[in-house]
Amino acid sequence: MTATSDTRPQIDVNLPRFNQAVVAVLTAVAFIAQWPLLVALAFATVALTRIAGHRYGPWSQVYLRFIRPRLDEPIETEWAAPPRFAQTLGTLFLGLGWSLLALGYTTAGWAVTLMVTALATLAATARICVGCVLYERVAAR
| DSSP per position, the chain | ---SS--S-EEETHHHHHHHHHHHHHHHHHHHHT-HHHHHHHHHHHHHHHHH-TTT-HHHHHIIIIIGGGSPSSPPEEESHHHHHHHHHHHHHHHHHHHHHHTT-HHHHHHHHHHHHHHHHHHHHH---HHHHHHHHHHT-
Mean pLDDT of the chain: 94
Residue ranges per structural domain of the chain: 11-139
Answer yes or no: is pLDDT of 139 > 90: no
> Quick one: pLDDT at residue 3?
45
CA distance 76 to 16: 12
Q: What is the pTM of this model?
A: 0.91
Residues 37-94: tens digit of each pLDDT: 999 999 999 999 999 999 999 999 999 999 999 998 878 999 999 999 999 999 999 9
**Nearest residue to 77 via CA among 130, 129, 11, 122:** 11
Question: Predicted confidence band at 6 (pLDDT cuts at 50, 70, 90)?
Answer: confident
Output the pLDDT for position 116.
98
Report yes or no: 116 and 27 within 8 Å, Cβ to Cβ: yes
